[in-house]
Amino acid sequence: MTHDQDNPDTKTIGVIGTGLMGAPMARRLTEAGHRVRAWNRTPDKTETLREHGIEIAHSANDTATGADLVMVMLSSGPVCDDILLGADGVIAHMAPGAILVVMSSIPVETARSQAQAAEAAGVGYLDAPVSGGERGAIDGTLAIMVGGEAATYTQAQALFAPLGCDVHVGPAGSGQLAKLANQTIVANTIATVAEALLLAERGGANPAKVREALLGGFADSTILQVHGERMLKEDFRPGGPAKWQWKDTQTAQALADELSLELPVSRLVDGLFGDLVAHGDGELDHSALIRELRRRNGESPR
């Protein structure tokens, strides 16, 4: 791809983390005309990006060299901290005035601490976790929840535009709060849809027809539409792995405990996902929670 060097909207973007989500996001950024340099801890995951005109960096710090923005899509808060912080971390290699956008799902306090480290280095910081899974990353339809300074958010909108719909929800850490709210709704709704389909099936109805009857009614949802179908077809190829869903429900529970907030439904669902992972299904899509409910009801998972 030929990038327009004279276009003021063209940015040099470093992408750290090119897994299930990061790779398609990097492709969309380069297709939008940005200069993209990518790095992944597992180098093999970056090789297919070369054909899209994406430069492959030798290290995480290399992605920061000359970058207007650095986008991070890594697996957890500790992994992000390990790569971003410290005297030889990515933040130390970013130019003053550049912007760090952490799109991983991490704890609220982790985001706030990273924001402080970035500010001390003269670097802008946004926490901008996403919802929509791999399909949303491929199609550019992600829901992007952004925390950070309003001025920094405005500067970073060239990054968000090719990826989906972005909303600035408040100061640093607020994006992660919004994502925890999102993941609470997603996890709890997956459990509810799975229970409803099992109830219909055990009661003698055709669960596929019951799902069809509910579409468009008050019980309809994206989870019923997409994950309900996955459950019926037993198609658990990971769009959002169950282990990452459990990571987020654990984070939400830890924050609720810190706030002395009792969330009984969420706590129960967190336990269900923990058991699903403990039984070896963590790499499956989070819609595979129905397998855990089958176990609890004396059935062998299909």
Output the pTM of the full model. Answer: 0.87
From 179, 209, 233, 243, active-site residue = 179
Residue 301: predicted pLDDT = 84
User: What domain range includes position 20?
Assistant: 12-171
Q: Is residue 11 flagged as an active site residue?
A: no
Summarize pLDDT for 16-27 with one digit per residue, the tens: 999 989 999 999
For residues 64 and 166, state if they share a domain: yes
For residues 154 and 200, state if they share a domain: no
In contact, 71 and 146? CB cutoff 8 Å: no
CA-closest candidate to residue 160, choices 135, 182, 142: 142
CA 118 to each of CA 53, 176, 295, 300: distance values in angstroms, whole numbers, following the listed order: 29, 17, 47, 50
For residues 59 and 148, state if they share a domain: yes
For residues 165 and 191, state if they share a domain: no
Q: pLDDT under 70 in the chain at which residues?
A: 1-8
CA 191 to each of CA 9, 13, 271: distance values in angstroms, whole numbers, following the listed order: 43, 38, 11
In contact, 159 and 13? CB cutoff 8 Å: yes
Distance CA 135, CA 56 (A): 24
Please report whether residue 284 resides in a domain: yes
Please report whether residue 1 resides in a domain: no
Specify the CATH number for the domain of residue 231: 1.10.1040.10
For residues 149 and 190, state if they share a domain: no
For residues 192 and 283, state if they share a domain: yes
Please report whether residue 6 resides in a domain: no
Work out how many domains the chain is built from and give that number: 2
Please report whether residue 147 resides in a domain: yes
Distance CA 45, CA 38 (A): 10
Please report whether residue 266 resides in a domain: yes
For residues 35 and 152, state if they share a domain: yes
Specify the CATH number for the domain of residue 114: 3.40.50.720
For residues 198 and 98, state if they share a domain: no
Distance CA 235, CA 51 (A): 30
Domain end, chosen from 129, 155, 171, is at: 171
Please report whether residue 3 resides in a domain: no
Please report whether residue 32 resides in a domain: yes
Please report whether residue 230 resides in a domain: yes
CA-closest candidate to residue 292, choices 280, 301, 282: 301
In contact, 193 and 228? CB cutoff 8 Å: yes
Strands 142-148 and 164-170: parallel
Cβ within 8 Å of residue 239, ≥6 positions away: 20, 133, 134, 135, 285
CA-closest candidate to residue 103, choices 34, 189, 13, 188: 13
Domain end, chosen from 171, 191, 214, is at: 171
